[in-house]
Structure 1
């Protein structure tokens, strides 16, 4: 018989993390020189920061395009949470297991390294990413961190007010516990006025705040909850899918939803539940406060934020509009919602999961072409979004975007709104997301 004591005695102490006294040794302290992962092989090292739709897609396709590359994906969350379909999850059209996906499976299947950590700094001059677990060097870097909630645009240095707003009136537009808090808020709401502030454009998934208002209104309607939803929209009209959403508001929820255009926030008093806007002042019982969106923190860390003609920071990445690398550093690529201006005609690509997935594949191909010494081929994406507006019958509307190079050499956008709500569009939505999950997650 092998006793536990003899098994421990026969094992090397270092292999078990034991000190000379036989006690478990304390983990080594992290320093500025701690190496997160030593180099492996002779191929290029490509580090992807952010494991959302863009980052996971990039990691998967980089292993295909550059088979000898060492691909490292850095992500702070322990599992993948899909913001697409999360509005439907709020009213239980899909369950939590549908939105949450294992991140280790695709990493093992496609052969990249997944490390859970927080990005805390980027030194482009040394080609180093600093993380909560140590530093890692790179040959190519992809920043795919999505957005940041720019509460400081409203509150400046008043961190207490920003934190109070975030914790009491969460926006739930970044994968986190805020989604669970919002769902609980909706299902525990007994009545009164709910205010939704929309971020000024560009912002993540432009049509989704209106979808959120619709699914909330449907829930309140069928459960006879005396609720009013005020959508404070900084834009002059509902967009995109304006006619479809207007029909849903007027025909399905006329006594619940009020859309207020030109309602850019001037001042917010979260403690006394009052919002001052350019369209008037509003008191509320509950709120979903969506602050302005900007590029993720990691783009700021890398000092790659663009500036406008007056020299003011735009909040979005300064990048090549066709090749997607930073203008100041062609070894750094920006993928997904952090991307900057693309065209003078339409500004930014829609900050959507579909675009992030598409651009990530293009960037993987472009890096592969560079590694092989080939000419880099500039490609254009497309975009597709479906939005649920009715819970019974379950009906959706949609919008498509197509891109081409115009006579002036700039990217031009064609937008097609599908304003008539139908069950068929919701079925298409599930086909779309199943295909996407199969593409980079399964």
Structure 2
């Protein structure tokens, strides 16, 4: 990590979006360095720091304040506003507007009484229970890491920073909420025809069924506007999954001349400058692309030294965590919430890296920490998962998948997957009911 001192004049101490967050007092000198202690503790309750203000982080902040009223809860988020991954594919083609997926984070902070600080997390001193941020050091008693994923472009390009930056800026995938979302939306609007390639990451990756939904909705946009374009899905898996039958029917019945799905297309080489991709299923050229490299746990998990290792001692790319209690195996004061979580079960591997799971696990972790603070025995709980995916824009139709979990007699977590492959408009209503209920849950609106 490269670190530098930050010279901040007194007016800038508001730190962006955190300026009006509740009880946010920065007892800091005019000159702040990376060694400055900021956000002094309030009260005698535990200090709980949450890194990442997505679905999981915002949910944890709300429920920790509710379950531990005297807790000093601090949420750290680098973005000024909350961008929702769910519904973002619909937003790309204007089925929902920007205000639907881009939300204010100050309102829930004020409503539920936690501190919100807009800053970058750049490291940890776990032996001293400190988070190192761009604006200084913050103490904690419990730490929750909820930073989502990182795009592992290095799996394709190694240390070729020029190729990484070119790919990120010219062929963005917008699977991390930031400026890429606006760039991708403009790319879709500007597409005039030709071959649009979409690469899918190998499992596990963020929201497994969503790349197929994105392909369907862009295909619907192409079909509606009579654009002479085709979509080529390069999928490393041997078949479409999850909701395989539903997506296969959508591809064949709605977009037979637009979408081509290529299985077993594990990426071997990418040449973004000459628009060429070599895969295990062959070599392909493209006119434009949405390039998704392999996904891994967010940088913060690597900075914390909490990435798991496989039997050969190589990094797994995901958090090294207790599969039932969600804390780090080597540090039970650090918890993991959301897409960065590690291995759960030999039967299915990871929980789906979805917003629904992040929201659910955040509530479980909040209860676990509350029980520990109260001196009670921690009760292991299980989540569930539910994903809705739109495959047609007119009429609006969706398919969905549900995952249920139980513990078998040996103590292993077992997953049951239920695909709803028949596309219907009823699922569209269920989808909007689902997300509005979740938004009200952690955003208060």
**Global fold match (TM > 0.5):** yes
Partner residue of 2:144 out of 142, 145, 161 = 142
- Counterparts of 1:164-179 in structure 2, within 5 Å, are 164-179=166-181
3-state SS, counterpart of residue 365 of structure 1: helix
Partner residue of 1:410 out of 409, 412, 425 = 412
Distance in 2 separating the partners of 1:246 and 1:183 = 25
Please report the RMSD computed on the Cα atoms of aligned residues, expressed in angstroms.
1.3
Partner residue of 1:121 out of 120, 123, 127 = 123
Distance in 2 separating the partners of 1:415 and 1:15 = 54
- Show the counterpart of 2:398: 396
3-state SS, counterpart of residue 33 of structure 2: coil
Distance in 1 separating the partners of 2:262 and 2:370 = 48
- Show the counterpart of 2:3: none
Please identify, of 405-414 and 354-363, the stretch whose mean Cα deviation from structure 2 is larger: 405-414
Partner residue of 2:101 out of 99, 108, 122 = 99
- Show the counterpart of 1:24: none
1:272 to partner: Cα distance: 0.2
Does residue 47 in structure 1 map to residue 55 in structure 2? no
3-state SS, counterpart of residue 202 of structure 1: coil
- Show the counterpart of 1:6: none
* CA deviation vs aligned residue, 1:329-364 (integer Å, no higher than 9, x gap): 000000000000000000000000000000000000
- Show the counterpart of 2:88: 86
Is the Cα–Cα contact under 8 Å of residues 34 and 134 in structure 2 kept in the other structure?
no
Does residue 219 in structure 1 map to residue 208 in structure 2? no
Q: What are structure 1's unaligned runs of at least 5 residues?
A: 1-13, 18-26
* CA deviation vs aligned residue, 1:385-414 (integer Å, no higher than 9, x gap): 000000110000000000000122100000
Which of structures 1 and 2 has the bigger CA Rg?
Answer: 1
Distance in 1 separating the partners of 2:45 and 2:344 = 32
3-state SS, counterpart of residue 339 of structure 2: coil
Please identify, of 284-293 and 182-191, the stretch whose mean Cα deviation from structure 2 is larger: 182-191
Distance in 2 separating the partners of 1:408 and 1:270 = 48
1:15 to partner: Cα distance: 9.4
3-state SS, counterpart of residue 248 of structure 1: helix
3-state SS, counterpart of residue 73 of structure 1: strand
Partner residue of 1:333 out of 335, 338, 346 = 335
- Show the counterpart of 1:298: 300
- Show the counterpart of 1:250: 252
3-state SS, counterpart of residue 361 of structure 1: helix
Distance in 2 separating the partners of 1:380 and 1:322 = 8
Is the Cα–Cα contact under 8 Å of residues 35 and 137 in structure 2 kept in the other structure?
yes
- Counterparts of 1:11-30 in structure 2, within 5 Å, are 28-30=30-32
Is the Cα–Cα contact under 8 Å of residues 338 and 361 in structure 2 kept in the other structure?
yes
- Show the counterpart of 1:183: 185
Shift >6 Å, 4+ stretches: 14-17
Distance in 1 separating the partners of 2:11 and 2:187 = 46
Q: TM-score, normalised on structure 2?
A: 0.93
- Show the counterpart of 2:319: 317
1:183 to partner: Cα distance: 1.0
Distance in 2 separating the partners of 1:253 and 1:288 = 19
Distance in 2 separating the partners of 1:80 and 1:233 = 30
3-state SS, counterpart of residue 378 of structure 2: coil
Does residue 343 in structure 1 map to residue 348 in structure 2? no
- Show the counterpart of 1:111: 113
1:376 to partner: Cα distance: 0.2
1:177 to partner: Cα distance: 1.2
* Paired residues, number: 421
Q: What are structure 2's unaligned runs of at least 5 residues?
A: 1-8, 13-28
Partner residue of 1:264 out of 263, 266, 283 = 266
1:123 to partner: Cα distance: 1.1
1:90 to partner: Cα distance: 1.0
3-state SS, counterpart of residue 206 of structure 1: coil
Is the Cα–Cα contact under 8 Å of residues 84 and 102 in structure 2 kept in the other structure?
yes
Distance in 1 separating the partners of 2:10 and 2:181 = 41
Distance in 1 separating the partners of 2:153 and 2:347 = 28
* CA deviation vs aligned residue, 1:228-282 (integer Å, no higher than 9, x gap): 1000000000000000000000000000000000000000000000000000000
3-state SS, counterpart of residue 32 of structure 2: coil
Distance in 1 separating the partners of 2:377 and 2:410 = 23
3-state SS, counterpart of residue 69 of structure 2: coil
Is the Cα–Cα contact under 8 Å of residues 34 and 135 in structure 2 kept in the other structure?
no
1:29 to partner: Cα distance: 2.9
